[in-house]
């Protein structure tokens, strides 16, 4: 018994609230997903960006009062250049100290040991020759912390995905119901515009198969046919200027609901 304007406004408010809730839930899920993807890229990317914790062992790193081990990412095609030049990039590099730890499709990971006071000079010289220096500090505690963070993110993503799917299943029913109410309001309003007041018409939902749609529309046209029916047809040869209907215009009020 409420005015159509109030009915439409209430339905719109309900759908808008569901949409806002959807955006918040999806944003929270995507945030966790992005964090997990970033960690996975570090685990599976090239040596230039990936985490080196699982490749560098404690015995590979020398750290004393005067000595330091650096990690260099060398393009595969430049490995000979690296091996022939790293000892001369700066002073006080330990001879034959470079060792290859890992290799992927693009790069190779090498260590080099030198005096701490020359580390900055070595990094600058190495970058000038196209070698990338990676900062790394071996710490069992840091590695354990990263593993725990990764496990927590995986658990959070699974839990949030499950919760989001359950929410979508339940909310879909509410949104679909709201859509059907909009359709009912539309068919009522268009019928009033077509047939006038007082309301005297029948609204129905018909779901014919694709093959029988043409036959069903022919039957409906016979039911609703009258002297003015010709003006609602969409055939160009019978349409009257200004009155001929569009492609979906019939002698009865009709619109199609596509449910995928």
- Per-residue pLDDT tens digits for 124-170: 999 999 999 998 876 666 667 777 888 888 899 999 999 999 999 99
pLDDT on residue 140: 64
Domain with CATH 3.30.70.100 in the chain: 58-137
For 149, residues 6+ apart whose C-beta sits below 8 A from its C-beta are 39
> Which class is domain 1-55+140-195?
mainly alpha
Using pLDDT thresholds of 50, 70 and 90, give the confidence band for residue 69: very high
Indicate if the pLDDT at residue 230 is higher than 50.
yes
Region at 134 (left for phi over 0; alpha for psi -120 to 50; beta for the rest): beta
Architecture of domain 58-137: 2-Layer Sandwich (3.30)
Strand partners, 111: 71, 99
- pTM for the complete prediction? 0.57
Question: CATH 1.20.1460.10 in the chain, residues?
Answer: 1-55+140-195
C-alpha–C-alpha distance, residues 167 and 21, integer Å: 10
Answer for the pair 134, 73: CB distance below 8 angstroms, yes or no. Answer: yes
């Amino acid at each position: 018994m409420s005015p159509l304007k109030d009915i439409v406004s209430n339905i719109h408010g309900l759908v808008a609230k569901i949409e806002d809730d959807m955006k918040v839930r999806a944003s929270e899920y995507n945030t966790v997903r992005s964090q997990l993807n970033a960690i996975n890229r570090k685990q599976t990317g090239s040596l230039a960006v990936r985490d080196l914790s699982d490749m560098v062992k404690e015995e590979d790193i020398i750290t004393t009062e005067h000595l330091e081990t650096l990690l260099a990412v060398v393009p595969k095609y430049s490995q000979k250049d690296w091996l022939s030049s790293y000892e001369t990039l700066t002073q006080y590099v330990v001879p034959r100290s470079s060792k290859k730890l890992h290799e992927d499709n693009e790069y190779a990971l090498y260590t080099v040991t030198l005096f701490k006071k020359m580390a900055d000079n070595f990094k600058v010289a190495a970058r000038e020759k196209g070698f990338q220096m990676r900062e790394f500090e071996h710490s069992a505690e840091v590695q354990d912390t990263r593993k725990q963070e990764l496990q927590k993110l995986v658990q959070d993503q699974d839990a949030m995905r499950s919760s989001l799917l359950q929410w979508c299943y339940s909310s879909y029913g509410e949104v679909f119901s709201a859509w059907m109410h909009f359709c009912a309001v539309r068919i009522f309003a268009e019928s009033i515009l077509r047939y006038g007041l007082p309301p005297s018409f029948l609204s129905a939902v018909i779901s014919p198969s694709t093959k029988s749609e043409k036959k069903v529309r022919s039957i409906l046209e016979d039911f609703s046919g009258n002297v003015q029916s010709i003006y609602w047809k969409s055939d160009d040869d019978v349409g009257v200027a200004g009155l001929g209907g569009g492609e979906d215009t019939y002698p009865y009020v009709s619109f199609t609901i596509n449910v995928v």
